[in-house]
Structure 1
Amino acid sequence: MSGTAVASRPIENSQAKTSYKILFIIGLCHLLNDSIQAIIPAMFPILEKSMGLTFTQLGIIGFSLNIVSSVMQPVIGMATDKRPMPFALPLALTFTFFGIIGLSLAPSFELIVLSVLLIGLGSSIFHPEGSRVVYMAAGARRGLAQSIYQVGGNSGQALAPLITALILVPLGQIGAAWFTIVAAIAIGLLIYIANWYSNKLRIETISKGKKSSPTSHQKALSKQIGFYLFIILFLIFARSWYISGITNFYTFYAIDKYSFTITQAQIYLFAFLVAGAFGTFFGGPLADRFGKKNIIFLSMISTAPLSILIPFVPSSLALILLTISGFILMSSFSVTVVYAQELVPGKIGTMAGLTVGLAFGMGALGSIVLGYLIDLIGLSTTIILTGFLPLLGLLTLSLPSDKKIAELYSQE
């Protein structure tokens, strides 16, 4: 495939030694980055009360956070496939640092949106380059490496309900200022990563070969691969909209249906997200054994009956179903990224930007559309309708198996 040798050679060298130290550090940075992002939807009940925001305005805040990532991540990924940028990583968390300061002090809806845009910009820079670090450090353990990285991010998201209950509920909006410490720690760790990254690039540059040009077979595959990639992105749409409905608005549903306090409702969200983090970690090894396509299909279809039932069951059973559905649904998260990268070899940053970035972008669009639907048709009806989204996982049946993907490129 086309692309620079610097960008692609670390992936091609499957015999390279796995650098677990780097993987765990970048995974920790992913946790810190995503924990900061996750406090924004977790703050929705607080902002709704303190500033009198509508659900549509809350949706706009969620949209502002994520749309920057969805637009910028693929762009940055394409740019860094050609020219990797190690020190963009600490720069990314510097944007986030200032965004958090603004979020904690913003007196108006408009300034909250501006602060959230800075946090989204930081995330859009972090994720593609973070994915490249993962591949450079992975060696022969690509699936495991991606799981370590992604579980860091999902664990960070899972911390948001606890953070809300322990910090934001008692302190209010100003409590977000505590996360400047989190951002500062991440900046320090990413400076270390950037130095390792730069040294790794120098080593790769010494032994790099000439760029390869697309073969006629690769050109013939382009439309077919494009169709498969479209299906993957559509599956991400379905998964992301459902997750957006749960993370942004299920707390309101639990407060209304079960007469919960904000803290009690956050426990349910915490269970969903923690289970999702575990699912993300186990999804990679399961896909290595049973196939990536199979895990993507099973994660969506097995979630569907649970997600459909959740709005109708008592609170105790809802907690159980949310936990199980979070684990099952998110087991395909890291698998989807690796599947897309194998569909288009050598474009690690671009595919990471599309899959992870699109997940944010679809969540962004979902947050604003679902917020509007709640204002239009009611909270309960909207939550019920989102439960049917995982049924779109049936589209996975049109994707090629792992073996078929290998056969497509074996002819090159």
Structure 2
Amino acid sequence: MFAIGATHLLNDTLQAVIPAMFPVLEQERGLTFTQLGFIFFALNMVASVLQPVVGYISDRKPMPNALPIGMTCSLIGIAGLAIAPSYWLILLSVIILGFGSAIFHPEGSRVSFLAAGSKRGLSQSIYQVGGNTGQALAPLISAFVLVPLGQIGAAFFVLVAALGIFILSKISAWYKRQLELEKQNNRKKVILSSIGELTKKQIGTALTLLLVVIFARSFYVTNVTSFYVFYLMDEYELKIAEGQLYIFLFMALGAAGTFFGGPIADRIGRKNVIVLSLLVPLPLCLLLPHVPLWSIGVLLVVIGFFIMLSFSVTVTYAQELVPSKIGTMAGLTVGLAFGMGAIGAVAFGKLMDTIGIFPTMVIASFLPFIGLVGLALPKDQKMAMPEKK
């Protein structure tokens, strides 16, 4: 369980290099905010579109070897990024990186689910916090690796990918043994749901509402992680490294929120955590563009923790809505988070080029309102697990 969480950290650290490189690419390559947005779009859209497809295929036929294969693609992408001399080759490199991520995530989530037992929230949190911790490293990667070394500094992360391939090869072997054991014992797992019996129409409505929640969360998080540093540099005259430390606060507490969200949901219910994660930070998001510098760190800490509280919970909730499609639901929810982030990056980059940085931050502050549709989700209950005989 911790091994798959650790490789999720390594995988998403590689992805974190992309937004971490934005200030460097803007200065070294002279890229516009719109071009930066399209780079993020290329990375996350490839990952988001393919994740449900990989998840659907793995539901029909699990693919243990997909784990190290996905990380190998990521290694090729990060190596290309370090030496890409032009905008179009940078795009190609991030597409390859996104392809590797799309292969990794659904099968990684399946390994997490296999190890979960009755603690699905906790298990998914351990897996997802690895990824979010990797993403949280983006500001530190920017401040301490890419700003001093420039674009070529991305070559350092080839070693990260190589370590991931090694660990995933071991996990893949364990995964194969589990599948063989189930086949030999002719076992078919009965997956219980905490949501209860729903009609197909109710399931479809619930999934739609859940995807809207993910849309609101992903758009807001993308705005902060990819572009808020430019706001800090423009409004408060901070240097890149100083601004990135504020982004690190947001993402580090987001990783903490991801971890605690699952266990909290196991106790108080998944819907309650989903609603809480957008209701609490809503007024703070509205305040963020208008407060003095000394208070920004405090607001980012609280917003980051609560808005990411539902990250692993939305995955588990979707899997329990459709318990026969574990890989597909993981691919859909996590993939959609990437996809919405990709679209958000293009939208916010275009807005910043068109109307300016400050007005864009104000518009983004209203996004959590959209996520309140989660109030209409079906309520779940604590599962009564069958007694051991």
Instruction: Please state which band the TM-score falls in when normalised by the shorter chain.
Output: over 0.9
SS where residue 84 of structure 1 aligns? coil
1:348-381 CA-to-partner distances (Å, cap 9, x unmatched) read 1000001000000000000001111111111110
Query: In the alignment, what sits opposite 1:299?
Result: 277
Query: In the alignment, what sits opposite 1:206?
Result: 184
Deviation of the 1:223 alpha carbon? 1.4
- Asked if residue 352 in structure 1 is aligned to residue 330 in structure 2, the reply is yes
Deviation of the 1:205 alpha carbon? 1.2
Structure 2: tracts of 5 or more residues without a match: 191-195, 385-389
Query: In the alignment, what sits opposite 1:383?
Result: 361
Output the amino acid matched with 1:124.
Answer: A
Output the amino acid matched with 1:140.
Answer: S
Q: Which of these residues, 16, 23, 38, is aligned with residue 45 of structure 1?
A: 23
Query: In the alignment, what sits opposite 1:396?
Result: 374
- Asked if residue 311 in structure 1 is aligned to residue 311 in structure 2, the reply is no
How far, CA to CA, are the matches of 1:39 and 1:183 in structure 2?
A: 12
1:140-176 CA-to-partner distances (Å, cap 9, x unmatched) read 2211110100100010011111111111110000000
Are the equivalent residues in 1 in contact too, given 2:38–2:346 (CA < 8 A)? yes
Deviation of the 1:277 alpha carbon? 0.4
- Asked if residue 126 in structure 1 is aligned to residue 110 in structure 2, the reply is no
Query: In the alignment, what sits opposite 1:275?
Result: 253
Query: In the alignment, what sits opposite 1:241?
Result: 219
Q: Which of these residues, 114, 119, 133, is aligned with residue 136 of structure 1?
A: 114
Query: In the alignment, what sits opposite 1:265?
Result: 243
Deviation of the 1:388 alpha carbon? 0.7
**Which consecutive aligned stretches of 4+ in structure 1 deviate over 6 angstroms post-superposition?**
none
Output the amino acid matched with 2:248.
Answer: F
Deviation of the 1:211 alpha carbon? 11
Query: In the alignment, what sits opposite 1:16?
Result: none
Deviation of the 1:208 alpha carbon? 3.2
Query: In the alignment, what sits opposite 1:410?
Result: none
Deviation of the 1:219 alpha carbon? 11
Output the amino acid matched with 1:278.
Answer: A
Output the amino acid matched with 1:381.
Answer: P
Structure 1: tracts of 5 or more residues without a match: 1-22, 213-217, 408-412
SS where residue 138 of structure 1 aligns? coil
- After TM superposition, the structure 1 = structure 2 runs for residues 121-270 of structure 1, keeping only pairs within 5 Å, are 121-208=99-186, 221-270=199-248
Moved more, 158-167 or 173-182: 158-167
Deviation of the 1:37 alpha carbon? 0.2
Identity of aligned residues (%): 57
The normalised TM-score by structure 1 is 0.90
Query: In the alignment, what sits opposite 1:327?
Result: 305
| Cα root mean square deviation, aligned | 1.7
Query: In the alignment, what sits opposite 1:369?
Result: 347
Deviation of the 1:406 alpha carbon? 7.6
Output the amino acid matched with 1:241.
Answer: F
SS where residue 186 of structure 2 aligns? coil
Are the equivalent residues in 1 in contact too, given 2:64–2:175 (CA < 8 A)? yes
How far, CA to CA, are the matches of 2:219 and 2:207 in structure 1?
A: 18
Moved more, 300-309 or 107-116: 300-309
Deviation of the 1:262 alpha carbon? 0.3
Output the amino acid matched with 1:96.
Answer: S
How far, CA to CA, are the matches of 2:379 and 2:110 in structure 1?
A: 25
How far, CA to CA, are the matches of 1:287 and 1:147 in structure 2?
A: 10
Output the amino acid matched with 1:282.
Answer: F
1:49-68 CA-to-partner distances (Å, cap 9, x unmatched) read 10010111000000000001
How far, CA to CA, are the matches of 1:209 and 1:130 in structure 2?
A: 22
Are the equivalent residues in 1 in contact too, given 2:213–2:372 (CA < 8 A)? no
The normalised TM-score by structure 2 is 0.95
